[in-house]
Amino acid sequence: MTKPFDPKVFRLGYIALECADLERTRDHYVETLGMTEMARGHDGEVYLSLGADHHNIVLRPAAQKALVHQGYQLKPHHTVAEVARDVQALGLKATIKTDSQPGVAELVEVEAPGGVMFQLFNEIAMPCPGWKETGASILRLGHLAVISAEAEKLFQFYTDFLGFAYTDDIAGVARFITCNRDHHVVNVVGLPDNRVHHIAFELKASAFHVSACDALRRAGVDQLWGPARHTAGHNIAGYHYDPNKVMIEFYTEMDVFVPELGIQEPRPWHEINPLKPRSWPLENMNAWGAPFEFNFVTG
């Protein structure tokens, strides 16, 4: 009997990144991706909204790029105080912070295995600046892929403590996990490094991949791969680098996880039915059979 799917969190709210070239990176997210600048912090950090939440991306000036933290929204019956206590019982560091950033009155900051920082909160302000019709017109923050030298322990933190479910892997190296109905909200990549691999935004519809690629190209940004359909998740995906050299994925049509059945529903198509969690080979990254021409794991 597998354990019931009942994660403590239900969505990825925001990601904070350190940037060497803050203004150019900010312009990429605002002008080319279509986000809205909401606030500037005391240390020069920029808070960017997709359309509803106070922020979904935070950019902080620094000497070099880094993943600062990932913010998840707790289900209402899990309080910050309770989570802090349970994290400390695991032997991990947890710090409750109040008014540490605009839009989030209270959160618990957790240092997970490998030094990966989480912020877990119950509420984030929703000033709703609206979605832009310019640039790539991104819709929502969907997932992130994190490379960790402590991947096994980090994976266990996501699954055993936060309650994420395993949905697929690629060659055992990249493991996909979810806390909601998306095929994946996180991709834990086990390599001897500690950094963000990519962050992913869902587009409004697959037709927007074309206008998104056009918007990137107008801004002088090349595609790295795609848009094409993946095998794991079957999302239509295209990748590029932001000016901070963080890889960004635009995606649509991702498989929908049905935890009660332990399967993925197609959106709208995949070859194997019913599709249960499986290990996909590295050489089969494109559901349409076309070559996959850059190294997805190390890229």
Site size toward Fe ion (CB under 5 A) is 2
Can residue 236 be called a binding residue for Fe ion (CB under 5 A)?
Answer: no
**Chain length of the chain:** 299
Q: Which amino acid is at 66?
A: A
Q: 112 or 200, CB closer to Fe ion?
A: 200
Q: Which stretch binds Fe ion (CB under 5 A): 51-59, 80-88, 245-253, 255-263?
A: 245-253
What's the angle, vertex CA 196, arms to CA 98 and CA 243, rounded to 5? 100
Q: How many CA atoms lie within 13 A of 204 on its CB side?
A: 17
Q: 12 or 215, CB closer to Fe ion?
A: 12
CA distance 218 to 280: 35
Q: 78 or 229, CB closer to Fe ion?
A: 229
Q: For Fe ion, which residue of 165, 200, 247, 287 counts as binding (CB under 5 A)?
A: 200
Can residue 202 be called a binding residue for Fe ion (CB under 5 A)?
Answer: no
Kindly state the helix (H) or strand (E) to which residue 27 belongs, with its residue range: helix 22-27
What burial class does residue 223 get, using C-beta atoms within 10 Å of its C-beta: 0-12 exposed, 13-18 middle, 19+ buried? middle
From residue 1, give the alpha-carbon distance in Å to each of 4, 52, 163: 9, 39, 16
Q: 249 or 255, CB closer to Fe ion?
A: 249
Q: 65 or 183, CB closer to Fe ion?
A: 183
Q: Which stretch binds Fe ion (CB under 5 A): 8-16, 55-63, 72-80, 198-206?
A: 198-206
Beta carbons of 122 and 73 less than 8 angstroms apart: yes
Q: In angstroms, what is the minimal distance from the CB of 221 to Fe ion?
A: 18
Can residue 249 be called a binding residue for Fe ion (CB under 5 A)?
Answer: yes
Q: Which stretch binds Fe ion (CB under 5 A): 63-71, 148-156, 197-205, 279-287?
A: 197-205
Kindly state the helix (H) or strand (E) to which residue 244 belongs, with its residue range: none
Q: Which stretch binds Fe ion (CB under 5 A): 8-16, 33-41, 83-91, 247-255?
A: 247-255
Q: How many CB atoms lie within 10 A of CB 11?
A: 17
Q: 118 or 250, CB closer to Fe ion?
A: 250
Q: Tell me which residues touch Fe ion (CB under 5 A).
A: 200, 249
